[in-house]
Structure 1
Amino acid sequence: MSTKIVPRRSDERGHADHSWLKTFHTFSFAMYQSSAHEQFGSLRVINEDRVEPYTGFGTHGHREFEIFSYVVSGELEHQDSMGNLEILKRGDLQMTSAGTGIRHSEKAHGTKPVHFLQIWSLPSTRNLTPQYFTRHFTDAEKKDVLVRIVAPSGAEGVAEQREANGPAPVHSPLTLYASLLSPSKSVSHALAQSKGYIHVVQTSGYNPGKATGAKVNIISSDGTTLELSEGDGAYVTASAGTELQVNNVGDKVAEVLLFDLE
């Protein structure tokens, strides 16, 4: 199978400015609906959210989704019906396996806005018992390498404890890597499955227009290439074993998320 890399441009994502919330939707979500961007394999939601201080998402319910939050800046207060209350900061990742049903709230904590990515995947098994996990990954750990931050439950090196080292467990055929890629540096990854999704986090500031900021170039082992900037993403379809190289071709650090999934 030849590699196919399809861009998902930042300014073409679903977008809403609610004053207290500025959000981008990679996939259909809330009022934004797109038949071309419903899901990709088990990946169902990537929302890049900025929430103003003293505001947030009030208590609401979820079922049958694996829900994880990746904090970029600021502090996120998470509270749920399982009794968890936690303040998440930069580098923190929170995973909620909603299963048969949970209720939770997510709010900006403190005097500064919080910028985070909310990501949902579809579980391989329904009616799971709800679970909650948190992990922390420093900027130093992610510098110029791909760090595995989410991986399937039961995979090697994946602990099932609420707090532990290594990736958070997910009940989906999905592995998520993160990197802080310096200018002129590169990282590479051989896909274990037939799909990949790459997202460049919009770290240099809220921008609903054409993508700017950090720039990376994606090159597959068969020579397929694509350039992305902050907020941009890319769908990758390829044979398992295809190598993807991500090169920082700009003058700013690029925060990159890479999904390997079915």
Structure 2
Amino acid sequence: MSTKIVPRRSDERGHADHGWLKTFHTFSFAMYRSAAHDQFGSLRVINEDRVEPRTGFGTHGHREFEIFSYVVSGELEHQDSMGNLEILKRGDLQMTSAGTGIRHSEKAHGTKPVHFLQIWSIPSTKNLTPQYFTRHFTDEEKKDKWVCIVAPSGSDGVTEKREATGPAPVHSPLTLYATLLSPSKSLSHTLSNTKAYYHVVQTSGYNPDKASGGHVKVTGADGAVVDLREGDGAYITGDIGAELKADNVGDRVAEILLFDLE
């Protein structure tokens, strides 16, 4: 078994400070373009956004993307052309299958900023009927274990209901796990596909400079190692069945997302 690990450093991501919005782009997005970081398998967008109170993204359209929001802190107001109006809080995950087309808005609700990750994947099938799903996962559920929060539609344990327990369905060959990994703890993961992506959430605060905060070491099946701080990510390519290991070698809890994908 072999794996290749390539870091994606936080301060090398696309970045913009619009006042009302502070955002980082892992992949090409808006005015940021990078041929080296355009997409990774079916994963097309990871934006780490901070939106000031009572501001946000006005109504706009999407089609042919699977769009999910992972709320880190604050409250996110989602409204769309399917009639959904919802206030999302920490632990909430919202998944919109845009399909043939939807319009939506996302705004900071209340008096505090909202920090969330906006993630897009490319569906395996075009012209899907638009759908909307929400799920909630507590901090306790995610403590020191990988919790599956998004999985391909039709997979075991995936319920095709607007609200349910278990992972939200996605029409892409992508499974997303989340954890809150305590200092000195480690978690292993066996690749189900040939690609994976780690992202360490920037929970210690907005930092456009060199990554700091939480400290995670990721080890591949053949001993390849990369050190990640908050905002950093890592591209993994390897054999199906290869084992990956994440160690929290820092002094604080690390919030980590792990994508296992084609």
Q: Identity rate of aligned residues, in percent?
A: 82
Report the Cα distance in structure 1 between the residues aligned to 2:151 and 2:116, rounded to whole angstroms: 19
Report the Cα distance in structure 1 between the residues aligned to 2:174 and 2:40, rounded to whole angstroms: 11
- Across the aligned residues of Structure 1 and Structure 2, the Cα RMSD in angstroms comes to 0.5
- Residue 129 (structure 1) aligns with: 129
Checking the alignment, whether the CA contact within 8 Å between 2:4 and 2:220 is kept in structure 1 is no
| Counterpart residue type for residue 81 of structure 1 | S
Report the Cα distance in structure 1 between the residues aligned to 2:145 and 2:187, rounded to whole angstroms: 6
1:117-172 deviation line (CA, Å, top 9, x unaligned): 00000000000000000000000000000000000000000000000000000000
Report the Cα distance in structure 1 between the residues aligned to 2:220 and 2:44, rounded to whole angstroms: 24
Q: Deviation of residue 222 (structure 1)?
A: 1.3
Checking the alignment, whether the CA contact within 8 Å between 2:2 and 2:220 is kept in structure 1 is no
Structure 2: which 5+ residue stretches go unaligned? none
- Residue 117 (structure 2) aligns with: 117
1:226-245 equivalences in 2 (<5 Å): 226-245=226-245
TM superposition score normalised by structure 1:
1.00
Equivalent residue of 1:36, what SS?
helix
Equivalent residue of 2:11, what SS?
helix
Report the Cα distance in structure 2 between the residues aligned to 1:169 and 1:163, rounded to whole angstroms: 11
- Residue 99 (structure 2) aligns with: 99
Q: Deviation of residue 67 (structure 1)?
A: 0.0
Checking the alignment, whether the CA contact within 8 Å between 2:2 and 2:221 is kept in structure 1 is no
Q: Is 1:20 matched up with 2:27?
A: no
| Counterpart residue type for residue 61 of structure 1 | G
1:1-262 equivalences in 2 (<5 Å): 2-262=2-262
Report the Cα distance in structure 1 between the residues aligned to 2:28 and 2:86, rounded to whole angstroms: 28
Report the Cα distance in structure 2 between the residues aligned to 1:158 and 1:254, rounded to whole angstroms: 27
Report the Cα distance in structure 1 between the residues aligned to 2:43 and 2:77, rounded to whole angstroms: 24
1:156-193 deviation line (CA, Å, top 9, x unaligned): 00000000000000000000000000000011100000
| Counterpart residue type for residue 10 of structure 2 | S
Report the Cα distance in structure 2 between the residues aligned to 1:126 and 1:69, rounded to whole angstroms: 21
Following TM superposition, the consecutive aligned residue runs of length 4 or more in structure 1 with deviations greater than 6 angstroms are none
TM superposition score normalised by structure 2:
1.00
Equivalent residue of 2:178, what SS?
strand
Report the Cα distance in structure 2 between the residues aligned to 1:188 and 1:203, rounded to whole angstroms: 22
| Counterpart residue type for residue 185 of structure 2 | K
Aligned residues: 262
Q: Deviation of residue 21 (structure 1)?
A: 0.0
Report the Cα distance in structure 1 between the residues aligned to 2:199 and 2:47, rounded to whole angstroms: 11
Report the Cα distance in structure 2 between the residues aligned to 1:100 and 1:171, rounded to whole angstroms: 13
Report the Cα distance in structure 2 between the residues aligned to 1:221 and 1:56, rounded to whole angstroms: 42
Structure 1: which 5+ residue stretches go unaligned? none
| Counterpart residue type for residue 193 of structure 1 | N
| Counterpart residue type for residue 95 of structure 2 | M
